[in-house]
Amino acid sequence: MAVAFRRLLGRFLGAQRESHAPAPGTLAHLVDLERTLGYRFRDRSLLVASLVHRSYYAGTEVNAALQSNERMEFLGDSVLSLVVNEHLYTRYSDRTEGELTKMKSVVVSKQILAHLAKKMDLGRYVLVSENAQRAGVGTMESVVADALEAVFGAVFIDGGFEAARRVVLGVLPDNLGEVVSQEGTINYKSLLQEYIQALHKVPPRYRVHSTTGPDHDKQFAVEVVVKGNILGSGTGKTKKDAEQKAAREAYRRLTNSPAEG
């Protein structure tokens, strides 16, 4: 185990502080998260590893790509997909393959994962650098969604598929139809801006490409542009609706999220 990670683990597994709300970096903090998940780790270093954002090692000689939770997120993504596929197949026996595919694409999307992660307040457990913490990185939707997948991966390594299955289904609402219905309430403009700002330090720009139809029934065609590149387009009866659709197309393309269909 790398020296940097041993130090981090020591910080987490050190003496507990007396507090009604467990302070970050204590055993009580990990136990608090385990209680939320409904799962107790045999090896809590796995839980720690699932919570480390790459910014935590910024400015050090540590390879953040190896020591952060990114590899565990990769595993957790596959665990989540298998659990959801099995559950949908078993529970919705009257749905076609196409309907199940659409349901699954929504349930495992970064947008829904971020919503679920925020409901369980996962952002307060994510370890980021001090600068990143001041910038609110630890509570960004993309960060908490990735952390949730990493936690699923950690549970799988620690307890196997059945344990991971219980945790995943415990996080998801009982009625997955409810999750699917939330897809229409996602603010893609906000998600895209957060994603683009993190990558390029500039916000995306929206421009009306064309307007068609009479005044009482106009259709707006909008493009979302970053540094001169068109990332997505959308049409709607209002500029706001068209911008949301353009942002949805751009965000899904950038994050490889499945499209509806």
The catalytic residue positions are: 77, 149
β-strand 229-236 against 205-212: which pairing, if any? unpaired
Q: Are 88 and 176 in contact (CB under 8 A)?
A: yes
For 187, the 3-state DSSP assignment is: coil
- The C-alpha angle with vertex 239 and arms to 236 and 245, in degrees rounded to 5, equals 55
Q: Bridge-partner residues for 220, per DSSP?
A: 211, 236
Whose CA is closest to 19, among 8, 32, 35?
A: 32
Judged by phi (left if over 0) then psi (alpha if -120 to 50, else beta), residue 228 lies in left
* 98 CB-contact burial (10 Å; exposed 0-12 / middle 13-18 / buried 19+): exposed
* 124 CB-contact burial (10 Å; exposed 0-12 / middle 13-18 / buried 19+): middle
For 62, the 3-state DSSP assignment is: coil
> Quick one: CA dihedral 14, 18, 20, 23, positive or negative?
negative
Q: Which residues of 201-211 are buried (b: 16+ CB within 10 A; e: fewer)?
A: eeebebeeeee
